[in-house]
Amino acid sequence: MSILSRIREDVRSARDHDPAARGSLEVFFIYSGLHAVWWHRIAHALWRRGARFVPRAISQAARFFTGIEIHPGATIGRRLFIDHGMGVVIGETAVVGDDVLIYHGVTLGGTGHGRGKRHPTLGDRVVVGAGAQLLGAIELGHDSAVGSNAVVVRSAPPWTTLTGIPAQARPRRGAPRAEQPDMADFYII
H or E segment and range at residue 41: helix 32-48
- Tell me the C-alpha distance between 159 and 180, whole Å: 7
Q: Would you say 15 and 21 are in contact if contact means Cβ atoms under 8 Å apart? A: yes
pLDDT digits (tens, 9 = 90+) for 105-150: 999 999 878 888 999 999 999 999 999 999 999 999 999 999 999 9
Bridge partners, residue 34, by sequence: none
Q: Which domains does the chain have, with CATH numbers?
A: 3-172 (2.160.10.10)
What contacts 133, CB < 8 A, 6 or more positions away?
106, 107, 109, 150, 151, 152
SS3 74: coil
Q: How confident is the model at residue 188 (pLDDT cuts 50, 70, 90)?
A: very low
pTM of the model: 0.90
pLDDT digits (tens, 9 = 90+) for 85-110: 899 999 999 999 999 999 999 999 99
Name the amino acid, one letter, at 99: D
